[in-house]
Structure 1
Amino acid sequence: MSWEVSISLNKNKNNLGQPPKPLVAILMGTKNGEQFLAEQLDSLETQTHQNWVLYASDDGSRDSTLSILDKYQTKWPDGKMIIRAGPQQGFCVNFLSLACDPAIRADYYAFCDQDDVWLSDKLTVAIQNILENQENALPYVYCGRTIYVDEELRKVGYSPLFTFPRTFRNALVQSIAGGNTMVFNHDVKTLLERVGPVNHISHDWWLYQLVTGVGGDVFYDPKPQLLYRQHKDALIGGNTSIVARCQRIQMVLQGQFRIWNDINIAILCSIKPLLSHGSQETLDLFKKMRSADLKDRFRLLEVTGLYRQTWRGTISLLFAALLKKI
């Protein structure tokens, strides 16, 4: 009996008389992840919310990643894991190829990295939060802090605690949470399908911009629910050290931040009719501010109301605007 069929039967029959647990589609992107993949898959096994299906999109691994996935697929119930070939256009497109696929259907969806470890209540906490706070037909994303660990899972710190509102004015200039923390409702999935895969800087930043841009809600949980492994091969790390901060300043000076904004603005303009009226105005002001002279640039920056989640971030934003590197 397939996993999908067994789920359907469970929905029609519950010995305890309780409502069926929501189905979660876990969307995992993999590539050459043999070193840590098994630990992540083990952590999925220990989730207190067990009604999930894992979709693993492998982006051309040349190590034993596929063998590890095959091993767990054989061990798990039929249909518990679905393995597919990724588009091989980078990690962002790989994740979005799953999120935008109309054939993948569930109640909720969770991005999953190949090298983290989920705490056992991660899905339970996220789903409960969504159920308690989402509004009908409104895109809703749960995300949050992480516990930074080294390659041996020794704790080395926490990701920053962000407390300012999660709005489009923040999302334009900052990504606040990793995709590995994100769980979202079906309204977000429908929105992603409508837009289709885009070649953004990262799938998590894109989700933050898209959902806030259309007037959806983003919840940021101050309590971490996963171990975020920091290692030399990680595509995106914690970026909290002094060295990392200096590297970010160098990136601003070299124009990388401006290039990212060029990409973000082009993609957002391509879906402008989907954005709320306020988001459209903010986007237009942001575009105008980037090409204005110094005096008008700071005036428009204030009018646009862009902000980052920390005072250091806000100073770096002003610094970038001063140098026309925004």
Structure 2
Amino acid sequence: MKDNSAPLVEVVLSSYDGAAWLDAQISSILGQTHGALRLSVRDDGSRDGTPDVLAAWAAREPRFSFRLGSRNLGPSGSFFRLLDGVGAEAAFAAFADQDDVWEADKIARAVAALSALPEGMPGLYCARVVIVDEDLQRRGLSPLPGRGPSLANALIENIAIGCTSVLNRAALDLLRAEWPAEPAKHDWWAYQVISALGQVIYDPRPALKYRQHGGNMTGAGYTPLDRFLGKVGRQLNGEQSALRRHQARELLRLFGSRLSVRDRTLVEDFLDSTHGLTDRLRYAVCGGVHRQHWLDNLAYRLLYVIRGV
């Protein structure tokens, strides 16, 4: 039952060929202990039975609404569109993936943490996850960030898993004043901006079951070795390097005048560090950015010297 005294949370979910998973996920979202909640879904061009699943939920659940996208935007573009549609009465906005299962108190914990921030401070809550297989059998936990959230980390790594992330109103208004040019990752972009201009809260207690299957966009990996090899592989293909630099340039373009002198220098040094082998070596040793775990950090710095990634 909806608690009219509680702040409204609008959960936004982008669906795509998710008919096999949606019922369990929607049930877990609408079953949250924080009752002042509504779920808004944008379908990004599904070719399976997803629209039928969504229509069935809309017919019986007043807190649920959906729309069919006129074109396929990809996950980040779809989520940016969803955030643009969050109503003025919502105090918080939460990302949701289509194939997870949330802990019942996920939203309540996020609201409590974000409500403790000073009034008007942009805040982003994110959390650890339990990694499960297609049948929701536990396979492991996502790694804890050993060094905590920061812009120095956000420039090269995302610890704010999108499906765990909740934004307060100040963060939502800050982000949607102007979206970054493509390509950008919605959750990584939010982590980067809010770590620079607000407060990121990382909850070490898992918030949901993160389902791994063949249709995932980016897998978390069942073991530390899986995750490490996946990160190295993504580094070697060059896509991560290009994305990091694009997002850093967009951060300067959209928010450079609002960054502290220290943070602006951090971003500028990061963007100026690839002119030659000597510059890369110097930056790998002395640069201000870092990953959360020592082995990831070492691998990043070695690959940076060799390939500028």
TM tier relative to shorter chain: over 0.9
Aligned to 1:203: 186
Contact 2:121 2:199 in 1 (8 A): yes
Aligned to 1:318: 301
Alignment partner of 1:141 is 2:118: no
How far apart are 1:197 and its partner, in Å? 5.7
What one-letter code is carried by the residue in structure 2 that aligns with 1:159?
S
Aligned to 2:53: 68
Aligned to 1:230: 212
Aligned to 1:175: 158
Residue of 29, 32, 39 corresponding to 2:24:
39
Contact 1:147 1:224 in 2 (8 A): yes
Aligned to 2:200: 218
Q: Distance in 2 between matches of 1:197 and 1:267?
A: 6
Q: How does 1:67-146 map to 2 (within 5 A)?
A: 67-77=52-62, 80-86=63-69, 87-101=71-85, 103=87, 105-132=89-116, 134-146=117-129
TM-score, length-normalised on structure 2? 0.92
Change (3 A) 1:303 1:248: closer
Q: Distance in 1 between matches of 2:126 and 2:43?
A: 24
Aligned to 1:15: none
- Secondary structure of the corresponding residue to residue 127 of structure 1: helix
Aligned to 2:221: 239
How far apart are 1:230 and its partner, in Å? 0.5
Judge which range, 157-166 or 80-89, deviates more. Answer: 80-89
Change (3 A) 1:274 1:169: same
Q: Which stretches of structure 1, 4 residues or more, deviate above 6 A after TM superposition?
A: none
How far apart are 1:304 and its partner, in Å? 3.7
Q: How does 1:265-276 map to 2 (within 5 A)?
A: 265-271=248-254, 272-276=256-260
Contact 2:129 2:209 in 1 (8 A): yes
Q: Distance in 2 between matches of 1:105 and 1:85?
A: 23
Give unpaired runs (5+ residues) of structure 1: 1-5, 12-19
Aligned pair count reads: 306
Q: Distance in 1 between matches of 2:292 and 2:90?
A: 32
Alignment RMSD, CA only? 2.0
Change (3 A) 1:277 1:99: farther
Give unpaired runs (5+ residues) of structure 2: none
